[in-house]
Amino acid sequence: MTPDGKVQERSEIEKKDRWNVEALYENWDAWDLAFNAIPAPLSGPRWPSLSQDAKDLSKPETAKKILDETMKIDLELTRLYTYAHLRHDEDVGEEKAKASYMQARSLLYAFREEISWFDPALLQLSEKALENLLSSSLLEDYLIYLKKIVRLKPYILSGSEEKLMTFAEKALDVSHRAFGSLNNADLKFPLCKNEKGELCELTLGTYQLYMKSYDRTLRKEAFIHLHKTFGAYENTLSDLLQGEVTAHVFRKKARGYPSCLTAALYPNLVEDSVYTSLIRSVRKHLPSLHEYVKLRKKALKYDSFHVYDLSVPMVEGMDAHFSYEEAVEAICESVAVLGKDYQSILREGLTKARWVDLYENKRKRSGAYSSGCYGSFPYILMNYHGTFRDVMTLTHEAGHSMHTYFSGKCQKYQDHQYPIFLAEVASTFHEELLFRYFLEKTDTPDKRAYLINQKIDDIRNTLFRQTLFAEFELFLHETAEKEQPITPALLKERYFALTKEYFGEEVEMDPEVAFEWSRIPHFYYNFYVYQYATGISAAHVLAKRVLRKEASARESYLGFLSSGGSKDPIATLKYAGVDMTSEESVDAILTSFKELVKELGKLMENKS
């Protein structure tokens, strides 16, 4: 973004501020060359060496040959896909990137169709044959991979049915892709006025910035304009969301899972009770959130308090601007407790190696994420504006990236991908370390109050808000499972009611609140958001252990980062030092939230 607030074209962003996709492929020509080298069949299978053709999987040497070839091709296709999706997200309206992204996805679907026979054929073997495979020294490298398949035996279909399921995946993904195109490229928002009457550009990126502005006129205008724009498409967006949920119901029914929730959690070795107990724990602690809202309303001296007042700092004059270089320095210093090697890898990645695509440009995907593939950099997408929140977002994504880095470095390809349940632990662990780093450096009560306010808002957004989302998502799926229609009216009514329950009577609920469901990308991710809440809960416990320098705390945490998918996720966290089957892990951070609210209240009283 330019100093006058204009969002730049992609071509205007300096190379040093763009991610190093050239490390994957030098340019589109190189990508095209690699893509076109994949055999295109005139007829029959594209990868004949992987066709079933009466292969006897009971022979370890046969199974190993198929698995070796499968992993080699999967790695190659994933690399092609990663480059295409990164280039696509740089500018979602660019035609070459869009077409190549679709080509790469189609190729991955084709590959999965051709190997879809493997799991059913494996599971049709006798118990003795399976036992022989799992005990064979030839398949030692694939033992973990094979055990995960065997665990899914109750929900694996026949070979022909599995092939049909892979055929269906491309169609079932349409709602998700259509929402992404609408959200990131097609929707345009009206200009907003600030308190001086000046016009300000509204995008998904600037919206997050405006919500933290002390200019209440700008916050209100941005909130109303953004949600009214989404609300104007409520029927389309309702149909897209229903399409996504219907796809989940289809998969659940086709495989015989008892619920959509189980269908999403069981393959990741997570019990439904983890999800439902999270909601119970958070609801039990809602009075603490209501107390915080009262404190915020009092501190801001508002007669009426609105949702667009939830993110503005309660302490003025403390919200410094951080250059990217200052952000990197703070982040690297905050992780010193993890050792010099960890620091140097991270610093190199965030600077010279160019892991990060830093600034917003026109038609760039909104938000932030960490991505990549085995053997690549862990790439980070950002829309950096230099706020304190942006620094926290950067360390969050850097935490993901370091998890990916160590898992890829320490695990074989087939075992490197850490379970989705663990995905938000390292990221929120990084946030906890950075918060503690800044807190230790505070030299005034105002700065301490500002930082505690920021931390409270982190927990509010990551634990309370994501649990609200999780509860809404569960409601959507349970509604669809009962074969009840998901209409705009139902969505608005339920979302509005949940928001009021979570934030309490002090918040005046503007009608635009009812449209927020329509703009949340994670509702298309199939029960993902709860992991932000469980992740921050686990990270809170683990960070405390490391910062207190408890015996082997650092080593066990680094072991957690390096484990990839080599263990079940609950066991992996237990090894690191936290038991997520117990409500105590969630209660611990909720208790900390309550204590932080109490401390902030005292600081604000002394200030006034």
List, by residue number, the catalytic residues.
397
Asked if residue 195 lies in contact with residue 159, where contact means CB atoms within 8 angstroms, the answer is: no
- 188 exposed, middle or buried (CB, 10 Å; 0-12, 13-18, 19+)? exposed
For 477, half-sphere exposure in the C-beta direction (CA atoms, 13 angstrom radius) is 25
Q: How many CB atoms lie within 10 A of CB 180?
A: 17
Sequence-ordered list of residues with C-beta below 8 angstroms from that of 32, at least 6 positions apart, any chain: none
User: Can you tell me the distance from the alpha carbon of 141 to that of 122, in angstroms, rounded to the nearest whole number?
Assistant: 17
Tokens of 155: 């929900």
Question: What is the phi/psi pair of residue 404, to 5°?
Answer: -65, -40
DSSP element (H, E) containing 113: helix 95-115
User: Can you tell me the distance from the alpha carbon of 73 to that of 352, in angstroms, rounded to the nearest whole number?
Assistant: 31
Beta strand ranges found along 295-378 (DSSP E): 305-306, 356-357, 369-371
User: Can you tell me the distance from the alpha carbon of 510 to that of 301, in angstroms, rounded to the nearest whole number?
Assistant: 19
Tokens of 24: 């994957």
- Show the CA angle centred on residue 527, arms to residues 524 and 533, nearest 5°: 115
Asked if residue 264 lies in contact with residue 530, where contact means CB atoms within 8 angstroms, the answer is: no
User: Can you tell me the distance from the alpha carbon of 361 to that of 200, in angstroms, rounded to the nearest whole number?
Assistant: 16
Q: What is the DSSP letter of 214?
A: S
Q: DSSP readout, 356-383? A: EE-S-BTTPPSS-EEE--TTS--EEE--
- Is the C-alpha dihedral spanning 154, 159, 160, 166 positive or negative? positive
Asked if residue 285 lies in contact with residue 459, where contact means CB atoms within 8 angstroms, the answer is: no
Asked if residue 430 lies in contact with residue 279, where contact means CB atoms within 8 angstroms, the answer is: no
User: Can you tell me the distance from the alpha carbon of 226 to that of 25, in angstroms, rounded to the nearest whole number?
Assistant: 37
For 169, half-sphere exposure in the C-beta direction (CA atoms, 13 angstrom radius) is 16
The dihedral region occupied by 55, where left means phi > 0, alpha psi between -120 and 50, and beta the remainder, is beta
In 3D space, the residue among 282, 277, 187, 168 whose CA is nearest the CA of residue 227 turns out to be: 187
Q: How many CB atoms lie within 10 A of CB 199?
A: 12
User: Can you tell me the distance from the alpha carbon of 123 to that of 129, in angstroms, rounded to the nearest whole number?
Assistant: 10
Q: Is 198 helix (H, G, I), strand (E, B) or coil?
A: coil
Residue with tokens 């092939």: 163
Residue with tokens 């890829």: 408
Asked if residue 136 lies in contact with residue 125, where contact means CB atoms within 8 angstroms, the answer is: no
Our measurement of the distance from residue 80's CA atom to the centroid of its chain's CA atoms, rounded to an integer in Å, reads: 22
